[in-house]
Chains A and B, each alone.
Chain A
Amino acid sequence: MQFVHVMALGLAQGAIFSLAAFPVRTQLSLFKNFDFSIAAAILVASETFTVVARAIPFDGEVRALLGSGAGVSAAIVVMVCWNGSFERLARRAAGGREPNLFVVSLGLSVAVAGFVGLVRGPGLRQSDLNDLGRVMLGREVSLDYPVAYAFAMAAVVLGTAFVWLRSRSGLPVLLLSGDPAFAREIGIDRRELVVPAGIMSGFAAGAVGSYYALSSGSTIELGSTLFLYGAGAALIFNGMRSFVWGGLVLGVLLVWLQQILAPAWATAVMFAGVVALVTFRGSSRLRQGLR
Protein backbone atom coordinates (compact mmCIF):
# COMPACT_ATOMS: atom_id res chain seq x y z
CA MET A 1 0.00 0.00 0.00
CA GLN A 2 2.90 2.28 0.88
CA PHE A 3 4.46 1.55 -2.52
CA VAL A 4 1.20 2.44 -4.31
CA HIS A 5 0.96 5.70 -2.33
CA VAL A 6 4.56 6.65 -3.18
CA MET A 7 4.04 5.75 -6.85
CA ALA A 8 0.88 7.88 -6.99
CA LEU A 9 2.79 10.81 -5.48
CA GLY A 10 5.69 10.28 -7.88
CA LEU A 11 3.43 10.07 -10.93
CA ALA A 12 1.53 13.19 -9.85
CA GLN A 13 4.81 15.05 -9.41
CA GLY A 14 5.99 13.69 -12.75
CA ALA A 15 2.79 14.84 -14.44
CA ILE A 16 3.42 18.35 -13.14
CA PHE A 17 7.06 18.28 -14.31
CA SER A 18 5.77 17.15 -17.73
CA LEU A 19 3.50 20.17 -17.78
CA ALA A 20 6.50 22.38 -16.93
CA ALA A 21 8.55 20.67 -19.66
CA PHE A 22 5.93 21.19 -22.39
CA PRO A 23 6.32 24.99 -22.68
CA VAL A 24 10.12 24.64 -22.47
CA ARG A 25 10.02 22.23 -25.43
CA THR A 26 7.53 24.30 -27.40
CA GLN A 27 9.47 27.56 -26.99
CA LEU A 28 12.74 25.75 -27.71
CA SER A 29 11.27 24.44 -30.98
CA LEU A 30 9.98 27.84 -31.96
CA PHE A 31 12.87 30.13 -30.98
CA LYS A 32 15.76 27.62 -30.79
CA ASN A 33 16.64 28.86 -27.33
CA PHE A 34 15.59 28.45 -23.69
CA ASP A 35 12.79 30.83 -22.79
CA PHE A 36 12.91 31.91 -19.15
CA SER A 37 9.61 33.80 -19.46
CA ILE A 38 7.93 30.47 -18.59
CA ALA A 39 9.19 31.09 -15.04
CA ALA A 40 7.40 34.46 -15.05
CA ALA A 41 4.20 32.83 -16.34
CA ILE A 42 4.32 30.16 -13.60
CA LEU A 43 4.86 32.79 -10.90
CA VAL A 44 2.07 35.02 -12.22
CA ALA A 45 -0.30 32.02 -12.36
CA SER A 46 0.45 30.92 -8.80
CA GLU A 47 0.07 34.44 -7.41
CA THR A 48 -3.18 34.99 -9.34
CA PHE A 49 -4.52 31.66 -8.08
CA THR A 50 -3.71 32.63 -4.48
CA VAL A 51 -5.29 36.08 -4.78
CA VAL A 52 -8.48 34.76 -6.43
CA ALA A 53 -8.83 31.74 -4.11
CA ARG A 54 -8.46 33.99 -1.07
CA ALA A 55 -10.85 36.63 -2.35
CA ILE A 56 -13.96 34.66 -3.36
CA PRO A 57 -16.39 33.40 -0.74
CA PHE A 58 -17.33 29.96 -2.13
CA ASP A 59 -16.67 26.32 -1.26
CA GLY A 60 -13.15 24.90 -1.54
CA GLU A 61 -13.65 23.10 -4.87
CA VAL A 62 -15.27 26.14 -6.52
CA ARG A 63 -12.46 28.37 -5.30
CA ALA A 64 -9.88 25.89 -6.61
CA LEU A 65 -11.61 25.80 -9.98
CA LEU A 66 -12.00 29.57 -10.29
CA GLY A 67 -8.47 30.13 -9.00
CA SER A 68 -7.11 27.70 -11.60
CA GLY A 69 -9.07 29.41 -14.35
CA ALA A 70 -7.73 32.80 -13.33
CA GLY A 71 -4.16 31.48 -12.94
CA VAL A 72 -4.17 29.74 -16.32
CA SER A 73 -5.71 32.81 -18.02
CA ALA A 74 -3.06 35.09 -16.51
CA ALA A 75 -0.26 32.77 -17.66
CA ILE A 76 -1.72 32.61 -21.19
CA VAL A 77 -1.83 36.42 -21.34
CA VAL A 78 1.83 36.59 -20.19
CA MET A 79 3.04 34.03 -22.73
CA VAL A 80 1.05 35.38 -25.71
CA CYS A 81 2.15 38.97 -25.01
CA TRP A 82 5.74 37.82 -24.54
CA ASN A 83 5.85 35.70 -27.70
CA GLY A 84 4.31 38.50 -29.77
CA SER A 85 6.67 41.13 -28.35
CA PHE A 86 9.78 39.03 -28.78
CA GLU A 87 8.87 38.06 -32.33
CA ARG A 88 8.38 41.73 -33.18
CA LEU A 89 11.74 42.61 -31.60
CA ALA A 90 13.46 39.83 -33.50
CA ARG A 91 11.94 41.03 -36.79
CA ARG A 92 12.95 44.61 -36.10
CA ALA A 93 16.50 43.49 -35.38
CA ALA A 94 16.65 41.33 -38.51
CA GLY A 95 19.30 43.59 -40.04
CA GLY A 96 21.24 44.00 -36.79
CA ARG A 97 21.91 41.68 -33.92
CA GLU A 98 18.87 39.71 -32.74
CA PRO A 99 18.38 39.95 -28.96
CA ASN A 100 19.26 36.79 -27.09
CA LEU A 101 15.99 35.18 -26.01
CA PHE A 102 17.50 33.54 -22.94
CA VAL A 103 18.99 36.78 -21.60
CA VAL A 104 15.95 38.96 -22.35
CA SER A 105 13.53 36.42 -20.88
CA LEU A 106 15.80 35.97 -17.83
CA GLY A 107 15.59 39.74 -17.32
CA LEU A 108 11.82 39.66 -17.75
CA SER A 109 11.40 36.82 -15.28
CA VAL A 110 13.65 38.51 -12.69
CA ALA A 111 11.84 41.83 -13.14
CA VAL A 112 8.45 40.12 -12.71
CA ALA A 113 9.72 38.30 -9.59
CA GLY A 114 11.03 41.60 -8.20
CA PHE A 115 7.76 43.37 -8.95
CA VAL A 116 5.69 40.60 -7.33
CA GLY A 117 7.99 40.68 -4.27
CA LEU A 118 7.70 44.47 -4.09
CA VAL A 119 3.90 44.29 -4.17
CA ARG A 120 3.23 41.34 -1.86
CA GLY A 121 6.43 41.07 0.24
CA PRO A 122 8.68 38.07 0.86
CA GLY A 123 7.82 34.55 2.03
CA LEU A 124 5.31 31.81 1.30
CA ARG A 125 1.70 32.70 0.50
CA GLN A 126 -0.91 29.99 0.79
CA SER A 127 -4.50 29.86 -0.36
CA ASP A 128 -5.68 27.60 2.55
CA LEU A 129 -6.90 25.14 -0.11
CA ASN A 130 -4.18 22.59 0.58
CA ASP A 131 -6.37 20.76 3.09
CA LEU A 132 -9.37 19.85 0.96
CA GLY A 133 -9.28 16.21 2.10
CA ARG A 134 -9.36 13.25 -0.26
CA VAL A 135 -11.08 12.44 -3.51
CA MET A 136 -12.80 9.02 -3.60
CA LEU A 137 -12.21 6.96 -6.74
CA GLY A 138 -14.56 4.08 -5.96
CA ARG A 139 -15.24 2.46 -2.58
CA GLU A 140 -11.72 1.82 -1.39
CA VAL A 141 -9.42 3.88 -3.54
CA SER A 142 -8.93 7.53 -2.69
CA LEU A 143 -6.35 10.18 -3.51
CA ASP A 144 -5.20 13.32 -1.72
CA TYR A 145 -6.90 16.33 -3.28
CA PRO A 146 -3.66 17.86 -4.67
CA VAL A 147 -2.65 14.50 -6.21
CA ALA A 148 -6.06 14.14 -7.87
CA TYR A 149 -5.85 17.77 -9.00
CA ALA A 150 -2.41 17.12 -10.54
CA PHE A 151 -3.68 14.10 -12.48
CA ALA A 152 -6.80 15.95 -13.65
CA MET A 153 -4.81 19.02 -14.74
CA ALA A 154 -2.19 16.88 -16.48
CA ALA A 155 -4.87 14.89 -18.32
CA VAL A 156 -6.63 18.04 -19.55
CA VAL A 157 -3.49 20.00 -20.49
CA LEU A 158 -1.49 17.13 -21.98
CA GLY A 159 -4.57 15.88 -23.84
CA THR A 160 -5.08 19.34 -25.33
CA ALA A 161 -1.34 19.62 -26.09
CA PHE A 162 -1.23 16.35 -28.02
CA VAL A 163 -4.39 17.22 -29.96
CA TRP A 164 -2.82 20.62 -30.74
CA LEU A 165 0.42 19.01 -31.91
CA ARG A 166 -1.63 17.14 -34.55
CA SER A 167 -3.46 20.26 -35.65
CA ARG A 168 -2.62 22.76 -38.43
CA SER A 169 -0.93 25.13 -35.98
CA GLY A 170 0.81 22.40 -33.95
CA LEU A 171 2.31 20.30 -36.72
CA PRO A 172 4.57 23.12 -37.95
CA VAL A 173 5.97 23.39 -34.39
CA LEU A 174 6.75 19.66 -34.50
CA LEU A 175 8.43 20.15 -37.86
CA LEU A 176 10.44 23.12 -36.58
CA SER A 177 11.56 20.94 -33.69
CA GLY A 178 12.56 17.96 -35.84
CA ASP A 179 13.97 19.56 -38.99
CA PRO A 180 14.20 23.37 -38.83
CA ALA A 181 16.00 23.72 -42.17
CA PHE A 182 13.31 21.77 -44.01
CA ALA A 183 10.60 23.72 -42.16
CA ARG A 184 12.12 26.98 -43.41
CA GLU A 185 12.46 25.60 -46.94
CA ILE A 186 8.77 24.75 -47.21
CA GLY A 187 7.87 28.22 -45.96
CA ILE A 188 6.76 27.70 -42.37
CA ASP A 189 6.51 31.17 -40.89
CA ARG A 190 7.29 31.53 -37.18
CA ARG A 191 5.10 34.65 -37.00
CA GLU A 192 1.97 32.55 -37.52
CA LEU A 193 2.93 30.16 -34.71
CA VAL A 194 3.81 32.53 -31.88
CA VAL A 195 0.22 33.08 -30.72
CA PRO A 196 -0.96 29.42 -30.68
CA ALA A 197 2.38 28.36 -29.15
CA GLY A 198 2.02 31.13 -26.55
CA ILE A 199 -1.51 29.99 -25.68
CA MET A 200 -0.45 26.37 -25.26
CA SER A 201 2.72 27.26 -23.32
CA GLY A 202 0.73 29.60 -21.07
CA PHE A 203 -1.93 26.93 -20.56
CA ALA A 204 0.64 24.43 -19.30
CA ALA A 205 2.66 26.99 -17.28
CA GLY A 206 -0.58 28.26 -15.70
CA ALA A 207 -1.59 24.73 -14.72
CA VAL A 208 1.79 24.20 -13.04
CA GLY A 209 1.59 27.50 -11.15
CA SER A 210 -2.00 26.80 -10.05
CA TYR A 211 -1.08 23.31 -8.83
CA TYR A 212 1.75 24.63 -6.65
CA ALA A 213 -0.41 27.48 -5.32
CA LEU A 214 -3.03 24.90 -4.34
CA SER A 215 -0.77 22.20 -2.93
CA SER A 216 2.05 24.02 -1.18
CA GLY A 217 1.74 27.76 -1.74
CA SER A 218 3.45 30.40 -3.82
CA THR A 219 6.98 31.74 -3.35
CA ILE A 220 9.00 34.19 -5.42
CA GLU A 221 11.45 31.44 -6.44
CA LEU A 222 8.69 29.07 -7.58
CA GLY A 223 8.83 30.01 -11.26
CA SER A 224 12.58 29.73 -11.72
CA THR A 225 12.79 26.46 -9.76
CA LEU A 226 10.06 24.86 -11.86
CA PHE A 227 11.59 26.21 -15.05
CA LEU A 228 14.80 24.36 -14.17
CA TYR A 229 12.86 21.14 -13.53
CA GLY A 230 10.97 21.68 -16.80
CA ALA A 231 14.23 22.20 -18.71
CA GLY A 232 15.67 19.04 -17.14
CA ALA A 233 12.57 17.03 -18.06
CA ALA A 234 12.58 18.44 -21.60
CA LEU A 235 16.23 17.52 -22.14
CA ILE A 236 16.29 13.95 -20.77
CA PHE A 237 15.03 12.43 -24.00
CA ASN A 238 15.24 13.74 -27.54
CA GLY A 239 12.13 14.62 -29.51
CA MET A 240 9.26 17.04 -29.10
CA ARG A 241 6.81 14.53 -27.63
CA SER A 242 9.18 12.85 -25.17
CA PHE A 243 8.83 15.57 -22.52
CA VAL A 244 6.11 13.50 -20.81
CA TRP A 245 8.53 10.63 -20.15
CA GLY A 246 11.21 13.07 -19.00
CA GLY A 247 8.80 14.64 -16.51
CA LEU A 248 7.64 11.29 -15.20
CA VAL A 249 11.21 10.07 -14.71
CA LEU A 250 12.13 13.24 -12.78
CA GLY A 251 8.94 13.14 -10.68
CA VAL A 252 9.24 9.50 -9.66
CA LEU A 253 12.97 9.98 -8.97
CA LEU A 254 12.30 13.02 -6.76
CA VAL A 255 9.63 11.28 -4.68
CA TRP A 256 11.79 8.15 -4.38
CA LEU A 257 14.76 10.27 -3.23
CA GLN A 258 12.52 11.99 -0.69
CA GLN A 259 11.79 8.57 0.83
CA ILE A 260 15.46 7.84 1.47
CA LEU A 261 16.83 11.37 2.00
CA ALA A 262 15.60 14.52 3.70
CA PRO A 263 13.39 16.47 1.21
CA ALA A 264 15.89 19.33 0.93
CA TRP A 265 18.74 16.91 0.14
CA ALA A 266 16.55 15.17 -2.42
CA THR A 267 16.04 18.52 -4.15
CA ALA A 268 19.81 19.15 -4.20
CA VAL A 269 20.45 15.71 -5.68
CA MET A 270 17.77 16.29 -8.31
CA PHE A 271 19.25 19.63 -9.35
CA ALA A 272 22.70 18.01 -9.46
CA GLY A 273 21.16 15.43 -11.78
CA VAL A 274 19.73 18.15 -14.03
CA VAL A 275 23.11 19.96 -14.17
CA ALA A 276 24.89 16.68 -14.92
CA LEU A 277 22.35 15.97 -17.66
CA VAL A 278 22.83 19.38 -19.29
CA THR A 279 26.62 19.06 -18.97
CA PHE A 280 26.98 15.52 -20.30
CA ARG A 281 24.70 16.17 -23.24
CA GLY A 282 27.25 18.83 -24.19
CA SER A 283 26.70 21.69 -26.57
CA SER A 284 30.13 22.85 -27.78
CA ARG A 285 30.44 20.49 -30.71
CA LEU A 286 26.71 20.26 -31.35
CA ARG A 287 26.48 24.01 -31.88
CA GLN A 288 29.38 24.04 -34.28
CA GLY A 289 27.86 21.29 -36.39
CA LEU A 290 30.60 18.78 -35.64
CA ARG A 291 28.41 16.21 -33.96
Chain B
Amino acid sequence: MSFALSVLFLTLCFALAGLAAGWFGNRLGLLSVAHGAIIGSGAYAFALSSRSWGASYAGLLAAIIAGSIVGWGVTVLSERVIGEEFALASFGLQVIWTTLVRNLTSVTGGPLGIAAVGSLGVWGMSSGAFSHCLLVACVAAVVVGMRASVARSSFVVAAAFVRRSRELAVTLGVPSLWIRSQVGLIYGACLGAIGCLLASFVTFVGPDDFTTETSVSILAIAFIMMRERFTAALLGAVVIIGVPQILRLLGVAAGRAGFAELFMSGIIVMGSQLLQRRGDVRP
Protein backbone atom coordinates (compact mmCIF):
# COMPACT_ATOMS: atom_id res chain seq x y z
CA MET B 1 0.00 0.00 0.00
CA SER B 2 2.77 2.39 0.99
CA PHE B 3 4.73 1.52 -2.20
CA ALA B 4 1.68 2.15 -4.38
CA LEU B 5 1.05 5.49 -2.64
CA SER B 6 4.71 6.45 -3.10
CA VAL B 7 4.48 5.72 -6.83
CA LEU B 8 1.20 7.65 -7.00
CA PHE B 9 2.82 10.62 -5.24
CA LEU B 10 5.78 10.64 -7.65
CA THR B 11 3.43 10.30 -10.62
CA LEU B 12 1.33 13.26 -9.45
CA CYS B 13 4.45 15.37 -8.89
CA PHE B 14 5.82 14.63 -12.35
CA ALA B 15 2.41 15.15 -13.98
CA LEU B 16 2.17 18.55 -12.31
CA ALA B 17 5.72 19.43 -13.35
CA GLY B 18 4.88 18.37 -16.92
CA LEU B 19 1.77 20.55 -16.81
CA ALA B 20 3.83 23.55 -15.68
CA ALA B 21 6.49 22.86 -18.32
CA GLY B 22 3.84 22.48 -21.03
CA TRP B 23 2.14 25.69 -19.95
CA PHE B 24 5.49 27.50 -20.05
CA GLY B 25 6.27 26.09 -23.49
CA ASN B 26 2.85 26.93 -24.92
CA ARG B 27 2.80 30.47 -23.56
CA LEU B 28 6.23 31.53 -24.83
CA GLY B 29 7.00 28.87 -27.46
CA LEU B 30 10.18 27.93 -25.63
CA LEU B 31 11.79 24.59 -24.93
CA SER B 32 13.61 24.59 -21.60
CA VAL B 33 15.98 21.90 -20.36
CA ALA B 34 16.37 23.55 -16.93
CA HIS B 35 13.24 22.23 -15.19
CA GLY B 36 15.43 20.09 -12.91
CA ALA B 37 17.36 23.14 -11.69
CA ILE B 38 14.13 24.95 -10.77
CA ILE B 39 12.64 21.97 -8.93
CA GLY B 40 16.01 21.44 -7.25
CA SER B 41 16.14 25.07 -6.10
CA GLY B 42 12.76 24.64 -4.45
CA ALA B 43 13.83 21.36 -2.85
CA TYR B 44 17.08 22.82 -1.51
CA ALA B 45 15.29 25.94 -0.22
CA PHE B 46 12.87 23.73 1.71
CA ALA B 47 15.67 21.46 2.99
CA LEU B 48 17.74 24.42 4.20
CA SER B 49 14.77 26.11 5.87
CA SER B 50 13.70 22.88 7.55
CA ARG B 51 17.25 22.37 8.83
CA SER B 52 17.22 25.84 10.39
CA TRP B 53 13.63 26.20 11.57
CA GLY B 54 12.08 22.77 11.22
CA ALA B 55 9.61 21.59 8.57
CA SER B 56 6.80 24.10 8.18
CA TYR B 57 4.71 25.78 5.53
CA ALA B 58 7.14 28.70 5.69
CA GLY B 59 9.54 26.25 4.03
CA LEU B 60 7.00 25.70 1.25
CA LEU B 61 6.86 29.46 0.80
CA ALA B 62 10.68 29.61 0.68
CA ALA B 63 10.67 26.88 -1.97
CA ILE B 64 8.08 28.74 -4.04
CA ILE B 65 10.15 31.94 -3.82
CA ALA B 66 13.40 30.12 -4.74
CA GLY B 67 11.70 28.36 -7.65
CA SER B 68 10.18 31.64 -8.86
CA ILE B 69 13.54 33.41 -8.79
CA VAL B 70 15.31 30.65 -10.75
CA GLY B 71 12.31 30.26 -13.11
CA TRP B 72 12.35 33.98 -13.76
CA GLY B 73 16.13 33.91 -14.35
CA VAL B 74 15.78 31.14 -16.92
CA THR B 75 12.82 32.78 -18.66
CA VAL B 76 14.26 36.27 -19.06
CA LEU B 77 17.07 34.77 -21.14
CA SER B 78 14.42 34.50 -23.85
CA GLU B 79 14.49 38.27 -24.25
CA ARG B 80 17.76 37.67 -26.11
CA VAL B 81 17.64 34.08 -27.28
CA ILE B 82 14.75 32.01 -28.57
CA GLY B 83 14.28 28.65 -30.27
CA GLU B 84 17.12 26.17 -30.11
CA GLU B 85 19.54 28.76 -28.76
CA PHE B 86 17.29 29.16 -25.72
CA ALA B 87 17.16 25.39 -25.26
CA LEU B 88 20.94 25.26 -25.49
CA ALA B 89 21.33 28.11 -22.99
CA SER B 90 18.87 26.47 -20.57
CA PHE B 91 20.78 23.20 -20.91
CA GLY B 92 23.96 25.08 -19.99
CA LEU B 93 22.21 26.64 -16.99
CA GLN B 94 21.11 23.19 -15.83
CA VAL B 95 24.72 21.94 -15.97
CA ILE B 96 25.95 25.06 -14.14
CA TRP B 97 23.29 24.60 -11.43
CA THR B 98 24.29 20.95 -10.88
CA THR B 99 27.98 21.88 -10.72
CA LEU B 100 27.31 24.70 -8.26
CA VAL B 101 25.21 22.49 -5.99
CA ARG B 102 27.90 19.79 -6.06
CA ASN B 103 30.60 22.27 -5.12
CA LEU B 104 28.91 24.58 -2.61
CA THR B 105 29.56 21.92 0.02
CA SER B 106 29.15 24.21 3.04
CA VAL B 107 25.60 25.16 2.00
CA THR B 108 24.25 22.21 -0.01
CA GLY B 109 26.24 19.32 1.45
CA GLY B 110 27.95 18.79 -1.92
CA PRO B 111 27.55 15.42 -3.66
CA LEU B 112 26.26 13.87 -0.40
CA GLY B 113 23.31 16.27 -0.32
CA ILE B 114 21.22 17.11 2.74
CA ALA B 115 19.79 14.23 4.73
CA ALA B 116 17.11 14.16 7.42
CA VAL B 117 15.05 16.93 5.82
CA GLY B 118 11.87 17.62 7.80
CA SER B 119 8.59 16.29 6.48
CA LEU B 120 5.40 18.30 6.12
CA GLY B 121 2.28 17.06 7.87
CA VAL B 122 -1.24 17.85 6.74
CA TRP B 123 -4.36 18.44 8.88
CA GLY B 124 -2.85 16.76 11.90
CA MET B 125 -2.03 13.57 9.96
CA SER B 126 1.40 12.04 10.36
CA SER B 127 3.68 12.77 7.42
CA GLY B 128 3.65 9.90 4.97
CA ALA B 129 2.79 8.93 1.43
CA PHE B 130 -0.95 9.52 1.90
CA SER B 131 -0.60 12.99 3.39
CA HIS B 132 1.86 13.93 0.65
CA CYS B 133 -0.57 12.70 -1.99
CA LEU B 134 -3.17 15.01 -0.43
CA LEU B 135 -0.69 17.89 -0.46
CA VAL B 136 0.24 17.40 -4.11
CA ALA B 137 -3.46 17.12 -4.98
CA CYS B 138 -4.04 20.49 -3.25
CA VAL B 139 -1.16 22.06 -5.22
CA ALA B 140 -2.55 20.50 -8.43
CA ALA B 141 -6.00 21.96 -7.69
CA VAL B 142 -4.49 25.43 -7.16
CA VAL B 143 -2.41 25.16 -10.36
CA VAL B 144 -5.30 23.89 -12.50
CA GLY B 145 -7.59 26.58 -11.06
CA MET B 146 -5.03 29.32 -11.71
CA ARG B 147 -4.47 28.04 -15.23
CA ALA B 148 -8.20 28.10 -15.94
CA SER B 149 -8.56 31.69 -14.67
CA VAL B 150 -5.48 32.86 -16.60
CA ALA B 151 -6.78 31.18 -19.79
CA ARG B 152 -9.65 33.69 -19.95
CA SER B 153 -7.52 36.76 -19.27
CA SER B 154 -5.86 39.23 -21.60
CA PHE B 155 -2.54 37.90 -20.32
CA VAL B 156 -2.79 34.91 -22.70
CA VAL B 157 -3.35 37.21 -25.68
CA ALA B 158 -0.39 39.36 -24.67
CA ALA B 159 1.76 36.24 -24.23
CA ALA B 160 0.70 35.07 -27.71
CA PHE B 161 2.10 38.30 -29.18
CA VAL B 162 5.33 37.89 -27.21
CA ARG B 163 5.55 34.28 -28.37
CA ARG B 164 5.18 35.32 -31.99
CA SER B 165 7.78 38.06 -31.92
CA ARG B 166 9.30 40.34 -29.32
CA GLU B 167 9.34 43.19 -31.83
CA LEU B 168 5.66 42.67 -32.68
CA ALA B 169 4.78 42.75 -28.97
CA VAL B 170 6.78 45.93 -28.37
CA THR B 171 5.23 47.57 -31.46
CA LEU B 172 1.74 46.77 -30.14
CA GLY B 173 2.64 48.17 -26.73
CA VAL B 174 2.82 44.79 -24.98
CA PRO B 175 5.61 44.81 -22.36
CA SER B 176 7.56 41.76 -23.52
CA LEU B 177 9.90 41.51 -20.53
CA TRP B 178 7.05 41.87 -18.04
CA ILE B 179 4.99 39.14 -19.73
CA ARG B 180 8.00 36.81 -19.85
CA SER B 181 8.74 37.60 -16.19
CA GLN B 182 5.18 36.73 -15.17
CA VAL B 183 5.29 33.43 -17.07
CA GLY B 184 8.69 32.64 -15.52
CA LEU B 185 7.51 33.49 -12.00
CA ILE B 186 4.35 31.36 -12.23
CA TYR B 187 6.16 28.43 -13.83
CA GLY B 188 9.01 28.68 -11.31
CA ALA B 189 6.60 28.90 -8.36
CA CYS B 190 4.83 25.73 -9.47
CA LEU B 191 8.07 23.79 -9.95
CA GLY B 192 9.46 25.18 -6.66
CA ALA B 193 6.40 23.87 -4.80
CA ILE B 194 6.88 20.44 -6.40
CA GLY B 195 10.53 20.49 -5.34
CA CYS B 196 9.45 21.22 -1.77
CA LEU B 197 6.97 18.33 -1.76
CA LEU B 198 9.57 15.93 -3.18
CA ALA B 199 12.15 16.96 -0.55
CA SER B 200 9.56 16.70 2.22
CA PHE B 201 8.50 13.22 1.07
CA VAL B 202 11.96 11.71 0.42
CA THR B 203 13.50 13.62 3.40
CA PHE B 204 16.69 13.93 1.37
CA VAL B 205 17.95 16.23 -1.37
CA GLY B 206 21.04 15.64 -3.50
CA PRO B 207 22.39 17.06 -6.77
CA ASP B 208 21.81 13.77 -8.62
CA ASP B 209 18.05 14.02 -8.06
CA PHE B 210 17.67 17.17 -10.17
CA THR B 211 19.79 16.70 -13.25
CA THR B 212 19.32 17.08 -16.99
CA GLU B 213 17.64 13.65 -16.93
CA THR B 214 14.92 15.02 -14.61
CA SER B 215 14.43 17.94 -16.99
CA VAL B 216 14.12 15.65 -20.00
CA SER B 217 11.58 13.42 -18.20
CA ILE B 218 9.46 16.50 -17.45
CA LEU B 219 9.91 17.68 -21.02
CA ALA B 220 8.71 14.30 -22.28
CA ILE B 221 5.55 14.58 -20.16
CA ALA B 222 5.01 18.08 -21.53
CA PHE B 223 5.35 16.69 -25.06
CA ILE B 224 2.84 13.90 -24.41
CA MET B 225 0.37 16.44 -23.08
CA MET B 226 -1.76 17.80 -25.91
CA ARG B 227 -3.30 21.22 -25.32
CA GLU B 228 -2.35 21.28 -21.63
CA ARG B 229 -4.67 18.52 -20.45
CA PHE B 230 -3.86 17.35 -16.92
CA THR B 231 -5.13 13.83 -17.69
CA ALA B 232 -2.62 13.54 -20.55
CA ALA B 233 0.15 14.80 -18.27
CA LEU B 234 -0.89 12.14 -15.77
CA LEU B 235 -0.74 9.47 -18.47
CA GLY B 236 2.75 10.60 -19.47
CA ALA B 237 3.91 10.54 -15.85
CA VAL B 238 2.45 7.04 -15.39
CA VAL B 239 4.49 5.80 -18.37
CA ILE B 240 7.71 7.52 -17.32
CA ILE B 241 7.52 6.77 -13.59
CA GLY B 242 5.82 3.40 -13.98
CA VAL B 243 8.26 1.67 -16.35
CA PRO B 244 11.31 1.84 -14.00
CA GLN B 245 9.14 0.69 -11.08
CA ILE B 246 7.95 -2.33 -13.09
CA LEU B 247 11.55 -3.14 -14.03
CA ARG B 248 12.57 -2.94 -10.37
CA LEU B 249 9.76 -5.31 -9.46
CA LEU B 250 11.04 -7.66 -12.20
CA GLY B 251 14.42 -7.76 -10.46
CA VAL B 252 16.44 -5.26 -12.55
CA ALA B 253 18.97 -3.42 -10.32
CA ALA B 254 17.72 0.01 -9.21
CA GLY B 255 20.78 1.76 -10.74
CA ARG B 256 19.99 0.34 -14.16
CA ALA B 257 16.20 0.55 -13.95
CA GLY B 258 16.52 4.32 -13.50
CA PHE B 259 17.90 4.53 -17.03
CA ALA B 260 14.63 3.06 -18.33
CA GLU B 261 13.03 6.40 -17.41
CA LEU B 262 15.67 8.18 -19.49
CA PHE B 263 15.19 5.80 -22.39
CA MET B 264 11.41 6.18 -22.33
CA SER B 265 11.70 9.96 -22.10
CA GLY B 266 13.97 10.07 -25.13
CA ILE B 267 11.65 7.88 -27.17
CA ILE B 268 8.65 10.02 -26.20
CA VAL B 269 10.41 13.32 -27.04
CA MET B 270 11.48 11.91 -30.39
CA GLY B 271 8.11 10.29 -31.13
CA SER B 272 6.14 13.41 -30.21
CA GLN B 273 7.89 15.32 -32.99
CA LEU B 274 7.68 12.55 -35.54
CA LEU B 275 3.99 11.84 -34.96
CA GLN B 276 2.85 15.47 -34.79
CA ARG B 277 0.16 16.78 -37.05
CA ARG B 278 -0.24 20.24 -38.46
CA GLY B 279 -1.86 22.53 -35.90
CA ASP B 280 -0.81 20.55 -32.84
CA VAL B 281 0.10 22.67 -29.86
CA ARG B 282 3.64 21.80 -28.86
CA PRO B 283 5.94 23.25 -26.25
Mark A residues whose CB is within 8 Å of B.
33-34, 89, 96-97, 99-100, 102-104, 106-118, 121-122, 220-221, 224-225, 228, 231, 262, 264-265, 267-268, 271-272, 274-275, 278-285, 287-288, 290
Contact = CB atoms under 8 A, between A and B. Distances in A.
B84 A117 contact: no
B112 interface: no
A264 B81 contact: no
A282 B256 contact: no
Judged by DSSP, the binding face of B is helix
Nearest to A106: B269
Given A34-B88, A262-B103, A287-B82, A99 B263 contact: no
A39 to B, nearest CB: 10
Given A221-B212, A275-B92, A112 B266 contact: yes
B269 A110 contact: yes
A284 to B, nearest CB: 5
A103 B273 contact: yes
7 contacts: A107-B272, A110-B262, A116-B259, A117-B258, A118-B259, A122-B256, A262-B103
B259 A122 contact: yes
Given A114-B261, A117-B256, A284-B79, A108 B167 contact: no
Interface of A: prevailing SS: helix
Interface of B: 31, 33, 77-89, 91-93, 95-96, 99-100, 102-103, 165-167, 212-213, 216, 253, 255-256, 258-274, 276-278
Given A99-B274, A103-B31, A114-B265, A278 B89 contact: yes
Given A114-B263, A122-B256, A271 B278 contact: no
B96 A115 contact: no
B278 A228 contact: no
Contacts of A285: 166-167
* In the complex, the 8 A-B pairs of residues with the closest C-beta atoms, listed nearest first: A111-B266, A114-B263, A107-B270, A117-B259, A114-B262, A110-B266, A107-B269, A275-B92
